[in-house]
Amino acid sequence: MTTSTKIIVWSIAATLTALAPTSQAQPYYVAGDYNGWANPSATAMTGGPSQYDYTITGQTAGNFGGLKVTDGTWNNTWPGNNLMVQYNASGSAVIHYYPGSPGDGWLPLAHRVGYDDPGNASFEVIGDFTSWNSDPKAQMTGVGNGVYTVTYVVPTAGTYGFKFRTPGTWSDANIGSDFGGGGNASLTTATNNQPVLFQLDLPNGRWIAGSPAPPPVTNQVVFAVDMTVQIELGFFTPGSYVYAAGDFNNWPNPGTTGLALTNYPPYNGGSNTNIYYGTNTLIGVPNSAVASFKFNNNDVAAPNAGWETSGNRSVSLLATNGTLLLPVGLFSDVGLSDYAATDVAVTFIVNMTNAVSRFDGHVFDPQNDQVYLNGGFLPGGWAAWNPISLLQMQNDPIGSQLYTYTVTLPARSANSLIRIDYKYGMGYGGVTNYDNEAVAYSDHFRYVRATATGAYTNAMDTFGDQYTEPSFGQLTSAASGAGTVAISWLGRPGVQLQVTTNLAATWQSLAETDGTNWTTGTSSTNGFVSQTNWPASGVQFFRLIQAW
């Protein structure tokens, strides 16, 4: 999908809370685990206008608790992700809130929430440059007044995500970009083996990596999403509402509040009338990632309660003040070719030889045990992990330890994504939770690569091997004799082979090689591999292209 370069900004009534210091004291409040997340105006802070304080008491010494500061409502809370505090020896924690934007080069830039050092805290730096949990972490040293530091040599120049956390665990305190436990902080190094000074200031609710941050930039961020596919699938009706929700507006409930997007065609000079967009002002460090977000809508037919089913999107600011026009996103990052165009019967095969339950080490007994299938392709999505809700697989061939089940994906429906996620379960005496193949959310992912015949057989799975197939690729060529060259590729619906005799010339797209049409090939661990013998004459180049 392409758009022109003309920028159109459609302004709507949605802004962030002002970042300038308040001119007079106004009430702020603390809500958290300690009071059962009571109403947002239950516990008032004292002080102001530049600093507010509150002391939590009566907790267990050394324990951690989550909290936020609010303006008396749930509409404005800081940090965006909960701050985890550790209680001191008397079971207390002194909380501080600093409204406004101090402009001191530390992060976050505004609305900082901190707490007095309990005297029993310790922290480490963990991130991309430490391979997260794999490599030794950067252990921080307390230097007094709740400040922790460490200098770590980042081996390779680049931009990296990281967090501060309690050593060895994600279960206690971890601090990211907003001093809460959410998105990663980030830093950029300019040279290899560059030493970086990391500093964490608990009472002041701030952190810094390397030199002080440059002055903040203000960007009018334009969010845009293309709803064409959702409309064609019947998941969205023009006239319903689309929203952007994320860190910048505290992730409001889907389809009710948030940054409302307006259908005002054409967006960016294009002709697509199904694009919805709106603007919001964001302030932050130049070139920094300041917010994660997703789109959602309030159409009653929308799956997943209106939320996109893809991962979070992100906003990275410009180097200067100005308008930031985000790329037009496909809702849920899916095109029409990501859904089966016709009904297709998909057969699952799993090998249960030496299969073991993750709960109690039970070894599969083909004489007495059962095998079940669960997945996102089921009507309504994943089923409960009990034998009533699951699909019981059949022993095929009888006497082997192979089990099969065939499911029909209905054409262009919420349950017909060609990237299928699923999992197996084992049934045996005494088991009550059949989600025993692998840890929760560790699934198999495979693609329905060919739909022309209306039937597709997945590559065989092994119980406990949570395999993920690549989307497409693995294009190879080899001389086959008789004036032809053998071409093979890992295809799928929406992916076509292209050919040219000159890289500077136009590529010829071979629509017949699309996974919705192609039937010639072999099987592999990644499913169906497309193959053809192409006439060999002179120099020829081949490539694969995904046509949404």
pLDDT tens-place string over residues 94-112:
999 999 888 778 899 899 9
Report residue 246's pLDDT band, with 50, 70 and 90 as the boundaries: confident
Report residue 313's pLDDT band, with 50, 70 and 90 as the boundaries: very high
pLDDT of 4 higher than 50 = no
pLDDT in tens, 455-467: 999 999 999 999 9
* CA-based nearest residue to 245, from 315, 308, 296: 296
Taking the C-alpha atoms of residue 418 and residue 377, their distance in angstroms, rounded to an integer, is: 9
pLDDT for the residue 213: 57
pLDDT for the residue 518: 96
Report residue 2's pLDDT band, with 50, 70 and 90 as the boundaries: very low
Average pLDDT, the chain: 88
Of 194-208, 209-223, 436-450, which gets the smallest average pLDDT? 209-223
pLDDT for the residue 3: 32
* CA-based nearest residue to 18, from 82, 96, 81, 101: 101
pLDDT of 9 higher than 60 = no
Q: Hey, CA dihedral for 230, 309, 376, 492, is it positive or negative?
A: positive
pLDDT for the residue 226: 94
pLDDT in tens, 367-390: 999 999 999 999 988 999 999 999
For 321-342, what is the mean pLDDT?
94
Report residue 537's pLDDT band, with 50, 70 and 90 as the boundaries: confident
Percent of the chain past pLDDT 70, that is, above it, reads 94
pLDDT of 15 higher than 50 = no
**Torsions phi, psi of 495, nearest 5?**
-110, 130
Find the distance separating the first CA and the last CA of the chain, reported in whole Å.
8
For 211-234, what is the mean pLDDT?
87
395: three-class secondary structure by DSSP: strand
pLDDT of 7 higher than 50 = no
For 222-251, what is the mean pLDDT?
91
Contact yes or no for 130/136 (Cβ under 8 A)? yes
CA distances from 482 to 272, 500, 538 (A): 48, 21, 14
pTM of the model: 0.63
